[in-house]
């Protein structure tokens, strides 16, 4: 018998199982604190649990337990029975902070119940949340979705915009451009660049407000349309497809790449930004879970590998192909190609 056969198999450490089986405790604590606007209630200084309970109309005993849990998670600091925001909460969870992430978190909060229907979605093959709900049919949810995308894009843009050199380029098509945030920031950074955002009507209506509020309506226009059927036009020198491949099948993505290439001038650039897996599809874990999140919320939702996007671009005739990860904590990667 070989020595390898004799060696007892090392017993795996079950810590991850224990941790993951209760990870939703942490999520729900953060989501609830954000929903209650707890961090705003502490934005002007420390308060006792009784004061917080009175301000937020909560039960005093329960609130004391809740605040201690928030402190345990690092969101609050407790001193002499009074609680204040820790730097993490003060920076990202207070609504007057420029780096506020509360609307993105609220969108996750809305999907908490949807994730509870994972088993049903696995059986039916249908999303637990009909995509139309947040893409126009329910105005309040649509607005919440667009504002969350805007807030998230503002964060991601700090890494994405410096990666893209669009100097000298004039005409961009932002397919499924959502709130138009990237179009606003890129046209601001590269004078002379104008962008057309192609979006579903319910989303475009909210985006028009955001673009106007940014003072960018002169250089960023919104066109109502379905990117599956809308004419992409001609004469573009940049096409941006950000955060939409995860809603689409591989065949649909391939078709979108081909239509993007057709509307580009020679020398034109296609930029595809999204959460992608490595080749093989099982890593990083966040990307695989993101694929489930999209499965739960869009009929063809999932996740693709960036290597696959590069193959679609190559097959469509693009050259100078590159894929770049955005820096942590952003899980996004950017795949780019140039039309010869």
Ligand X SMILES: C[S@@+](CC[C@H](N)C(=O)[O-])C[C@H]1O[C@@H](n2cnc3c(N)ncnc32)[C@H](O)[C@@H]1O
Closest CA to 320 of 304, 337, 303, 299: 337
Verify binding: residue 166, ligand X, rule CB under 6 A: no
Cβ density class 131-170: b for 16+ within 10 Å, e for less: beebbbeeeebbbbbbbbbbbbbbbbbebbeeebebeebe
**Single residue of 135, 216, 294, 296 touching ligand X by CB under 6 A:** 135
Select 210 or 310, whichever has its Cβ closest to ligand X.
210
Asked if residue 171 lies in contact with residue 197, where contact means CB atoms within 8 angstroms, the answer is no
Per CB under 6 A, the segment of 4-12, 98-106, 162-170, 237-245 that binds ligand X is 237-245
Verify binding: residue 199, ligand X, rule CB under 6 A: yes
Verify binding: residue 177, ligand X, rule CB under 6 A: yes
- Helix and strand element counts for the chain (H, E): 16, 11
Select 36 or 111, whichever has its Cβ closest to ligand X.
111
Verify binding: residue 227, ligand X, rule CB under 6 A: yes
Select 40 or 151, whichever has its Cβ closest to ligand X.
151
**Single residue of 247, 304, 333, 339 touching ligand X by CB under 6 A:** 247
Supply the minimum distance, in Å, between the C-beta of residue 243 and ligand X. Answer: 3
Q: Return the structure tokens found at 271.
A: 């930029």
Verify binding: residue 144, ligand X, rule CB under 6 A: no
Verify binding: residue 291, ligand X, rule CB under 6 A: no
Position closest to ligand X via CB: 178
φ and ψ at residue 106, rounded to 5 degrees: -60, -35
Per CB under 6 A, the segment of 16-24, 43-51, 177-185, 301-309 that binds ligand X is 177-185
Per CB under 6 A, the segment of 100-108, 161-169, 175-183, 260-268 that binds ligand X is 175-183
294 vs 278: CA distance, rounded Å: 17
**Single residue of 244, 261, 271, 309 touching ligand X by CB under 6 A:** 244
Size of the site for ligand X (CB under 6 A): 18
Tell me which H or E stretch contains 224.
strand 220-224
286 vs 97: CA distance, rounded Å: 27
Verify binding: residue 220, ligand X, rule CB under 6 A: no
Verify binding: residue 219, ligand X, rule CB under 6 A: no
228 vs 256: CA distance, rounded Å: 8
Verify binding: residue 228, ligand X, rule CB under 6 A: yes
Supply the minimum distance, in Å, between the C-beta of residue 306 and ligand X. Answer: 16
Closest CA to 165 of 5, 322, 288: 322
**Single residue of 127, 144, 243, 337 touching ligand X by CB under 6 A:** 243
Verify binding: residue 101, ligand X, rule CB under 6 A: no
To 10 degrees, what angle do helices 201-213 and 181-189 make?
A: 40
Asked if residue 156 lies in contact with residue 326, where contact means CB atoms within 8 angstroms, the answer is yes
**Single residue of 226, 231, 278, 320 touching ligand X by CB under 6 A:** 226
Q: How far is the first Cα of the chain from the last one, in angstroms, to the nearest whole number? A: 62
332 vs 286: CA distance, rounded Å: 10
Verify binding: residue 242, ligand X, rule CB under 6 A: yes
Residues found near ligand X in the complex (CB under 6 A)? 135, 149, 153, 176-178, 181, 198-200, 203, 226-228, 242-244, 247
């Amino acid at each position: 018998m070989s020595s390898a056969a004799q060696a007892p198999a090392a017993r795996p450490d079950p810590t991850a199982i224990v941790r993951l089986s209760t990870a939703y405790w942490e999520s729900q604590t953060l989501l609830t604190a954000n929903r209650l606007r707890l961090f705003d209630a502490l934005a002007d200084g420390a308060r006792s649990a009784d004061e917080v309970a009175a301000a937020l109309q909560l039960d005093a005993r329960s609130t004391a337990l809740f605040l201690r849990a928030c402190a345990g998670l690092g969101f609050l600091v407790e001193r002499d029975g009074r609680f204040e925001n820790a730097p993490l909460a003060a920076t990202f969870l207070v609504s007057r902070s420029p780096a506020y992430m509360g609307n993105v978190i609220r969108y996750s909060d809305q999907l908490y119940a949807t994730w509870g229907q994972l088993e049903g979605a696995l059986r039916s093959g249908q999303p637990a949340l009909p995509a139309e709900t947040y893409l126009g049919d329910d105005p309040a949810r649509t607005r919440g979705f667009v504002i969350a995308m805007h807030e998230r894009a503002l964060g991601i843009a700090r890494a994405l915009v410096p990666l893209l050199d669009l100097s000298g380029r004039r005409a961009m098509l932002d397919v499924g451009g959502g709130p138009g945030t990237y179009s606003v920031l890129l046209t601001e950074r590269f004078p002379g660049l104008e962008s057309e955002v192609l979006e579903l009507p319910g989303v475009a209506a909210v985006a028009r407000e955001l673009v106007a509020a940014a003072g960018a309506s002169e250089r960023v226009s919104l066109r109502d349309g379905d990117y599956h059927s809308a004419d992409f036009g001609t004469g573009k020198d940049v096409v941006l497809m950000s955060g939409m491949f995860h809603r689409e099948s591989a065949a649909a993505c391939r078709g979108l790449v081909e239509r993007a290439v057709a509307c580009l001038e020679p020398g034109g650039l296609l930029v595809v930004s999204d959460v992608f897996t490595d080749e093989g599809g099982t890593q990083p874990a966040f990307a695989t879970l993101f694929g489930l999140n999209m499965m739960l919320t869009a009929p063809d939702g999932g996740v693709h590998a960036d290597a696959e996007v590069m193959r679609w671009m190559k097959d469509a005739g693009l050259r100078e192909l590159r894929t770049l990860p955005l820096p942590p904590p952003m899980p996004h990667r950017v795949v780019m190609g140039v039309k010869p």
